[in-house]
Amino acid sequence: MDWMLLVAAGLLEVVGVIGIKRVARQNNWPNNLILIVGFLLSFQLLVKAMDTIPLATAYAVWTGIGTVGAAVVGMLFFKESRSWLRIGCMLGVIFSVVGLKLVG
């Protein structure tokens, strides 16, 4: 159950990052609400997931989902670079997070 909470926390971090991008483009209440709610829910789920998941593993998975998720959203919706090098780096993040999970 805590792993599902952790994945949800990572996905909500991506929502918060989308809110940051939207606020940077247009600072209004709906965009600020996306930013604040995304991060608040993300942090709450992360804290709950850390009841049973070790700190280093939980934080690595959370930030990994957030990092890769934000990069994918940037490529799909904000016309950011889709270079093979960028995709390779995202795969490196994924492999590193999986590696931490397997050894920890």
Q: Where are the domains of the chain?
A: 2-103
Round to whole Å and give the CA distance between 19 and 5: 21
Buried-state track 21-32, b at ≥16 Cβ within 10 A, e below 16: bbbeeeeeeebe
pLDDT digits over 45-79, tens only? 999 999 999 998 999 999 999 999 999 999 999 99
pLDDT digits over 75-87, tens only? 999 999 999 999 9
**What is the structure's pLDDT at 87?**
96
**What is the structure's pLDDT at 104?**
66
Residue 102 pLDDT > 90 = no
